[in-house]
Amino acid sequence: MAANIEKEASKISYDPLELGYSVVKDAPEVDKKHKPGDVYFSEDVMQQEIEQIFMKQWLLVGRAEEVENPGDYFTHRIADEPVVVVKEKNGNIQAFANVCRHRGVQVAWNSGNTKYFSCPYHGWVYDTSGKLVNAQYLEKTKNFKKENCSLPRLRTELWEGFIFINFDGGASPLMDDLERWDFPRIYEPYQMGRLRVANKFEMEISCNWKFLNENLTDIYHIAVLHSDTFGPYQPLDGYRYKVFDGGYHGRFVGGTLCPEGKSLFGPIPWLPEELHSGGFSSHIPPNVSWFPRFDYVSVNTNWPLTTDTSLSITYQLFPPEHFEQPDFREKAKEYEEFYKAFMNEDRDMIKALQRGMKSRYYEPGPVSSFEDGGVFGTIKHSIEDLGHG
């Protein structure tokens, strides 16, 4: 089984009997073990992850509709780096380091709409293009030049309405990664740029950020842990995997992420009929869990806070036509509450998983064929590629 996706010349087939290989019937033999506990709680390992992963790779931080109008902005923090994303006057969406060029204080908080960002400490004022427009009482400061004190601009690129940033000015373009992993081609029918955010919510979870990635790509536990939520409507025998270096595309036949697997809206209007059941689970390295379904799309971004605390941010996207329904908000709320319900099922389990990593009796166990494509893809990217384990 090739680790990298081959670029077929023909149009991709979404027939659930054709894409990739059947996880139940055709999975290859596996001779691997899980990783030692210290990679999930070591401060040194986490610092290496920050520098080599989060400071060098493309990171999904939001959606274009969150900054729909000039002056709209939202803030985010990645490790010790505060970020503000704003729509400039010219319509460009741009991320900046959210750090005043005087003493380093943040100049923006939360989200909103503004013409200027103002430092609350000494009153330095920046416009929405990051330019310093006012700094008082510096006439006698010889080394001060206003034009040298703009907010640092971060690499910012968009794909299908998703906003990605990169702290590494020398990084290759975003599309190089996405095309190497085959995301634009496989998910083209969903036309995610046409979808809009209906729900966005956060959950702080007591585990290492890598466990969030691993848990959300783990189909092995679905029938056991999620038997009261979506497990019965996402059967393992309907799963097929197409793997790549650092992740996978998991196609399955079944229901959606709503009570009893039943959609409250029906299929996305433009989705081809062969995708009118189930959907995909996938992973965009380093920290995006990707869940297109036939009626909507959920995306999770998983962020490290400490070695054993993480933040998961969920975006739920629906076609604009659905927003016009009079009961749309009530229906969308059902999707949100159902998602939170199964995430809460996961919460206690991965908290126990985190605690287990420090036990003197923990020894890395064997990897199941159900874990090989998804879970171990994320492990390779975030652990093995950094030389750990």
Please write the tens of the pLDDT for every residue from 211-241: 999 998 887 788 778 878 887 877 777 788 8
Q: What length does the chain have?
A: 389
195 lies in a domain? yes
Q: How far is CA 309 from CA 317, 347, 363, 379, in A?
A: 26, 11, 22, 18
In a domain, 342, yes or no: yes
Domain boundary among 157, 191, 209: 157
| Structural domain includes residue 104 | yes
131 sits in the region (left: phi over 0; alpha: psi -120 to 50; else beta) called: beta
CATH number, domain at 69?
Answer: 2.102.10.10
What angle do the packed helices 209-216 and 328-356 form, to 10 degrees?
A: 120
Q: Is the pLDDT of residue 188 over 80?
A: yes
Produce one character per residue of 100-117: b if its CB has 16 or more CB atoms within 10 Å, e if not.
bbbeeebbbeebeeeeeb
Q: For residue 11, what pLDDT band results from cuts at 50, 70 and 90?
A: low
Is residue 18 pLDDT above 80, yes or no?
no
Instruction: Verify that 359 and 249 share a domain, yes or no.
Output: yes
Residue 170 scores a pLDDT above 90? yes
- The answer to whether 301 touches 331, Cβ cutoff 8 Å, is no
* Together in a domain, 319 and 359: yes
Shared domain for 26 and 73, answered yes or no, is no
Same domain, 29 and 106: no
- Within a domain: 5: no
Region 168-194 average pLDDT:
96
Over the stretch 268-313, which tens digit does the pLDDT of each residue have? 999 999 999 999 999 999 999 999 999 999 999 999 999 999 999 9
Identify whether residues 91 and 229 lie together within a single domain. no
User: Which letter, b or e, does each residue of 355-367 get, where b requires 16 or more Cβ atoms within 10 Å of its Cβ?
Assistant: eebeeeeeeeeeb
Q: Report if residue 15 sits inside a domain.
A: no
- The mean pLDDT of the chain is 92
Instruction: Tell me the average pLDDT across 172-197.
Output: 96
| Whether residue 93 is found in the same domain as residue 129 | yes
Residues 67, 114 within the same domain: yes
Asked whether residue 311 is domain-assigned, the answer is yes
45 and 66 part of one domain:
no
The arithmetic mean of pLDDT across residues 47-62, rounded, is 98
> What is the domain range of residue 67?
60-157
At residue 16, the pLDDT reads: 64
- pLDDT > 60? residue 367: yes
First and final CA of the chain: distance in angstroms? 23
169 within a domain of the structure (yes/no): no
Residue ending a domain, among 124, 157, 190, is 157
The tally of domains found in the chain comes to 2
* Same-domain pairing of 30 and 67: no
Q: Are residues 131 and 188 in the same domain?
A: no
In a domain, 10, yes or no: no
Domain edge (last residue) among 127, 157, 187? 157
Q: What is the pLDDT of residue 377?
A: 86
Q: What is the CATH number of the domain that holds 367?
A: 3.90.380.10
Query: Which of 93-102, 190-199, 230-239, 321-330 shows the lowest mean pLDDT across its residues?
Result: 230-239
Q: Is the pLDDT of residue 88 over 90?
A: yes
Are 351 and 209 members of one domain? yes
CA distances from 329 to 150, 295, 322 (A): 41, 15, 10
**Residues 131-158: tens digit of each pLDDT:** 999 998 988 898 999 999 999 999 999 9
Clarify whether residues 196 and 274 are in a common domain: yes
Whether pTM exceeds 0.85: yes
pLDDT for the residue numbered 305: 98
